Structure 1
């Protein structure tokens, strides 16, 4: 087996130790929120009636609330959140807001070849709508339509770039860069070439996006209750009944936006697994440091390995650097204890300085982790329950920042009984294969992770297990 660039060009251990010596175990995006965007909302108490109740105050639930009130300002909409608004994936992701609804073109083409053109058109329209939302609703979530740079960092990946560019068939928004051009765009000695997709990705401030969606929704009359864990979802006199420890809501319809957390519907308990992803954030770069790496176009960046890294600049020129290890823990549990992995952060720091050796001496100000709701098709799945009075979407698999808005539109259409090009999609109408129960899930996922690592060490060649999973439409990704 071969070695990867991160093994061949690893920095000294002292460089890594210095960079992590003062790092706070805290989510930068949430720490960066002004207090006015983080009000303390009361828990649900007593009995309430609503037209629509939404369970979960992350992106999926908040887009659902805002779009529901936009469609029908007279509708009473209530959101209940078990913890604080935007505290989980919506407050701690990398802020890559992509047009793709299908976890990339290749995955969409393999699963829904007859609909791929429609899915990509809908995805671009959805990203355009997110960009327009800042002006439409008076929001500021630091939206930057930078596009995304995808560098080849191993020689065998150059052929993948050539195939990708050939399939683009002259699309002016897809630019192929040779080694010199890639390093001129972003000065990393690991880059051998790259593709720059100019229009299909934007960057946002994750926690601000959640906070601003909530602010706009509340200004339009949406009621949001925090620290209100939903214990039961049943039929009710008005349609559905939602019960917390201290309150109850009877509503005509419900949206389930609980994503990685155990579903209130038994049918969905095996549809996702929680995969833990880890992130570092640097201190702000000085002008000299920023000049040393270029990056004038501020693209989001994600490399081509199976165990890939993603990184981007913040508004104040910090570098967020995450990915690579995607860790599953036996039993599908979501547990804060899983977020503390000094070994993973040390590995990420080493990979960071391999990518940018000119930044040796920098420190990381923040480190954190979070669980991703992974599905076997790498994209969200949809459905209704309780005689179409409940709609759900989950399984975004790490590309939910943009796709959650699309999911909200789909769920509202499903509840309204609307048939259109969104609700008629095979991706919406057909559920993916579930993950197996334990211990098969842990065995299968960890064997798959091992196989992906071997592929990265063997010129990308996929072994029998990976080829079999590809053939039957099963997978594991973050």
Structure 2
């Protein structure tokens, strides 16, 4: 059995292109010209992922007459925003449980604001005619081990207490939605997650920015920031300069020109596979008719979903950190992880024997010690930043953009008064303690999955100090 399975996944991977499926398309936009001169603006945005694009677009919505410049080192959407799973969650806290644990006194407000944020994203997709396959399908978390059924019950109870439309399903009920021999139960959040095409969302936001008058310069890394005349900040690029009284730093896992962010943010690599389109017979074999996103309840979890043309994206499980916060293109490809994901895919859906993968890729996620975004400022409030989204940035970055704009204009809002916004996570230790701690945590989580969810002394210590990871 094992030999047959090994041969199965090795054959399925043999022709998979080592590039993100979402951006491997002929209709991707043509890059704008890089900045080659000095220019002034009312607001300068560093970074062209979701965070930067939302910040620029919302700034123009708030004040259409403002001059907004966005500079991006590569192409807008080329990093995490163009290579994630396309799960657009309403959660601002990396899940309800993490939010209830860290912000119990304001979880009702955080959930309300998060749901409103997801509604606003859906509205923007329609208003700006962004063709990104937005589907409000929700997400189902499935138990693949008996001890995880209790966790699903806890999630269902918490969601129900907040009035959310969700369902707790036993094994037979889950099988009526998706057929897998590994499923023992499920919890379906019906409204809190949308599925979308992540690259096309980024490209659509980019187009909306350009049509709104945002000046975008791609191929323009910011090498350093200095103070300029009149209290403005100057962003120095290889062949030009942007001067602005307000700057939004939106570089996520990439350190960018503000070194202090690396004390709190850890870049971890996440990996995914994409299958060829399923035939009608193959779709019937798995019965995935409701098209909700799926994720298992393990500590080292998988996430997977259907695309518009009925491919299956299958990712997660490994979250790999490299010594010294290292980020490099070659780290986006990890054959051992791809093989592990392929093996797990066919364990989940053995009825898809013979299906092949067309793409395999990886990307870097920005996380922090509280596993949800945090916010900060520098240069006496003239620069604002947000980071640490921990894989839920598809939705939460829009909220983060609103926070940064509120702070840059000195506004007192419900958002800026949140403890989520006013506090920061604990900094992570320097190397070699950082690497040792992260790898010990990964090992401990794998061990907990193998021992009925029991957390060892290291994980209990992290829980006690407020650094525990739970999803």
TM-score between both structures, scaled by the size of structure 1: 0.96
Q: Map 1:409-424 to 2 at 5 A.
A: 409-424=402-417
- Choose which of 50, 58, 69 in structure 2 pairs with 1:67: 58
In structure 1, runs of 5+ residues without a counterpart are: 1-7
Deviation at 1:39?
Answer: 1.5
2:344 maps to which residue? Answer: 351
Tell me if structure 1 keeps the 8 A contact 2:222–2:256: no
Residues matched between the structures, number: 469
Tell me if structure 1 keeps the 8 A contact 2:130–2:200: no
Q: Map 1:312-461 to 2 at 5 A.
A: 312-461=305-454
Deviation at 1:396?
Answer: 0.5
How many angstroms apart in 1 are the aligned matches of 2:59 and 2:432? Answer: 41
How many angstroms apart in 1 are the aligned matches of 2:383 and 2:4? Answer: 52
Tell me if structure 2 keeps the 8 A contact 1:33–1:207: no
Tell me if structure 2 keeps the 8 A contact 1:242–1:248: yes
- Choose which of 98, 110, 119 in structure 2 pairs with 1:107: 98
Deviation at 1:120?
Answer: 0.2
Q: Map 1:220-369 to 2 at 5 A.
A: 220-238=212-230, 239-369=232-362
How many angstroms apart in 2 are the aligned matches of 1:442 and 1:143? Answer: 38
What's the C-alpha RMSD, in Å, of the aligned pairs?
A: 1.5
1:39 maps to which residue? Answer: 30
Is 2:155 the partner of 1:173?
A: no
How many angstroms apart in 2 are the aligned matches of 1:353 and 1:216? Answer: 40
CA, structure 1 residues 46+476, in 2 after alignment: closer, same or farther (shift >3 Å)?
Answer: farther
Deviation at 1:265?
Answer: 2.1
Tell me if structure 1 keeps the 8 A contact 2:375–2:422: yes
In structure 2, runs of 5+ residues without a counterpart are: none
Q: Map 1:130-209 to 2 at 5 A.
A: 130-169=121-160, 171=163, 173-209=165-201
Tell me if structure 2 keeps the 8 A contact 1:374–1:476: no
- How far does the alpha carbon of each residue in 1:383-406 deviate from its partner, in whole angstroms, 9 at most, with x for none? 111111111001101111000000
How many angstroms apart in 1 are the aligned matches of 2:24 and 2:261? Answer: 33
Tell me if structure 1 keeps the 8 A contact 2:97–2:155: no
How many angstroms apart in 1 are the aligned matches of 2:351 and 2:2? Answer: 13
- Choose which of 48, 53, 58 in structure 2 pairs with 1:57: 48
CA, structure 1 residues 172+242, in 2 after alignment: closer, same or farther (shift >3 Å)?
Answer: closer
Deviation at 1:476?
Answer: 5.6
Deviation at 1:258?
Answer: 0.5
SS across alignment from 2:425: coil
- How far does the alpha carbon of each residue in 1:4-63 deviate from its partner, in whole angstroms, 9 at most, with x for none? xxxx9896111011101111111100013614xx12211111100000000000000000
Deviation at 1:168?
Answer: 3.5
Deviation at 1:264?
Answer: 2.1
How many angstroms apart in 2 are the aligned matches of 1:345 and 1:11? Answer: 18
